[in-house]
Amino acid sequence: MVFNRPLAMELGWDVAAMEPYAAGIFSGNHVPRGAAPIAMAYAGHQFGQFVPTLGDGRAILLGELLDCQGVRRDLQLKGSGRTPFSRQGDGRAWLAPMLREYLVSEAMHALGIPTTRSLAVVTTGEPVWREAGALPGAVLTRVATSHVRVGTFQYFAARGDHEAVRILADYVVQRHFPELLESPAPYLDLVRMVCARQARLIAQWMGVGFVHGVMNTDNMAICGETIDFGPCAFLDRYDPDTVFSSIDAWGRYAFGNQPRIAAWNLARLAETLLPLIDPDPRQAVAWVTEIIQDFPERFEALWLDGMRAKMGLETREEQDLLLIEEWLQWLHSGQADYTLSFRLLGQAVGVGADAAELRALFADPAGLDQWLVRWRARLARDGHRSDAERQARMHAVNPVYIPRNHLVEEVLDRAVEQGDLQPFMRLYELLQRPYVEQPGMERYAAAPPAGREGYQTFCGT
Ligand code: AMP
Ligand code: MG
């Protein structure tokens, strides 16, 4: 169905030569020479409930390879059939959610956010049986810097196998954090590094309005990439309580809750490493507590810098947080579209600028005007950029195009129901350059039409 040629080249392949074999390999029908596929074991807290044995129920790790940059990457098939961890599942996947992951993960990458990548989606020609009946089966190939999750550590820790946790931790340090090889406290530093990467990742998610939807500990990758695109979706209107997933009844994974959940998950990771960190449990707990407690502040600093950039600010002032929070309150109370309002704010740079388009997004724009005056005054204190320069800098971090829910639905419907991939490819291409306005594509930048809000996502297994 789709094959990511640029990514294949990044992996060092001769694309023309391999193309005839691609469908065979990426459906799992042909195992490449030298590959020894495995299914990975892991555990995880799912919505807060610990499950000691999860694992790749419907994914197969084909193997690892070194890409053009010499970076080791994992290749995984998703939906290729049962594994020892399938539990009640069939190990299969159907076309729409696999195309969805392809589209959204590649959009995340183009937005500049660390993520697993998508290499291919292949239809199997076999039906997959779900509640809705027979659906077209498909296999997605995803590429990750590694698939080691917080839950991978939990798997061994839950069995009391501290030696295995040590082997895993050493492996992860070597693969992802080689700078820690010389550290006098590598396991504590490992916690610190994973926290730093997650803080950055979540700050980036929050910047573009991404809601992951299932931040279970088994869906948090140690390497800091976004992983497991199930019920994820992007905000339309700004509301920190936004939940898209049909199974997240309590809003555990609501947009505004993501930093807190990340810290919670990281505490679960830290717990697994305690015996390696210090033989005295109380001392070990004290060390990691400090790091975990530091997370909110670390996150907020990164988030704040991200928000400053989105507002065109390059310097830091103490009052910035207040200015940003007020802006977000206006967005919230005005029910304004998150992506559009930031983009149009860039248009409103400059004292004489016309903010009509921006104002039109707000239910009641009167209060916004006062805020704009203060924002412009703050910009005036910020440096000596011209308005045009400032606007260009803002546009470079405020996307025009995100995978809007109503558009994603639309192109998936067309692809699955009518076998027409053209709308899918058009959206995919557009999302490859999310920060550049493209003529004739206004519809793709617009907020959902009335009546298309209240979007719900399903796990789509
Ligand atoms: P997820 O919600 O996709 O993160 O999956 C949670 C767990 O269920 C993981 O262990 C998956 O491997 C497993 N799983 C999800 N869908 C299937 C399926 N169709 N067949 C077998 N296992 C599955
Ligand atoms: Mg998962």
The three-class DSSP label of residue 12 is coil
Locate the domains of the chain by residue range. Answer: 2-144, 150-309, 310-395
Q: What is the pLDDT of residues 13-72, one digit of tens each?
A: 999 999 999 999 999 999 988 899 999 999 999 999 999 999 999 999 999 999 999 999
Point out the ligand 1 atom lying closest to the alpha carbon of residue 56: 12
pLDDT of residue 98: 98
Task: Say how far apart CA 410 and CA 100 lie, in whole Å.
Answer: 11
- pLDDT tens, position by position, 356-394: 999 999 988 888 999 999 999 999 999 889 999 999 999
Three-state SS at 130: strand
**pTM for this predicted structure:** 0.97
For ligand 1, atom 23, which residue shows the shortest CA distance?
57
Is pLDDT of 344 > 80? yes
pLDDT tens digits, residue range 104-122? 999 999 999 999 999 999 9
Q: E strands of 186-344, at which residues?
A: 210-211, 233-234
> Is the shortest distance between the CB of 459 and ligand 1 below 6 Å?
yes
Nearest-ligand number for the alpha carbon of 78:
1
pLDDT digits (tens, 9 = 90+) for 312-337: 999 999 999 999 999 999 999 999 99
Q: How far apart are CA 435 and CA 256, in angstroms?
A: 24
Tell me what the mean pLDDT of segment 232-249 comes to: 95
Residues with active-site annotation: 218
Q: Do 232 and 210 touch, CB atoms closer than 8 A?
A: yes
> From the CA of 220, which ligand is nearest?
2
Neighbours of 405 (CB within 10 A): 19
Query: 């033989």: which residue's tokens?
Result: 279
The whole-angstrom separation of Cα 345 and Cα 330 is: 13
Query: What is the spatial distance between Cα 101 and Cα 144, in angstroms, rounded to a whole number?
Result: 13
> Quick one: pLDDT at residue 353?
82
461 lines ligand 1 (CB under 6 A): yes
Is the confidence at residue 187, as pLDDT, over 70? Answer: yes
Cα 416 from Cα 134, distance rounded (Å)? 12
Q: How far is CA 204 from CA 55, 199, 207, 223, 307, in A?
A: 28, 9, 5, 15, 10
**What is the separation of C-alpha 297 from the centre of its chain, rounded to a whole number of angstroms?**
21
Please report the pLDDT score of residue 461 as a whole number: 56
Ligand 1 touching residue 91 (CB < 6 A)? yes
For residue 46 and ligand 1, the question of a CB distance below 6 A is answered with no
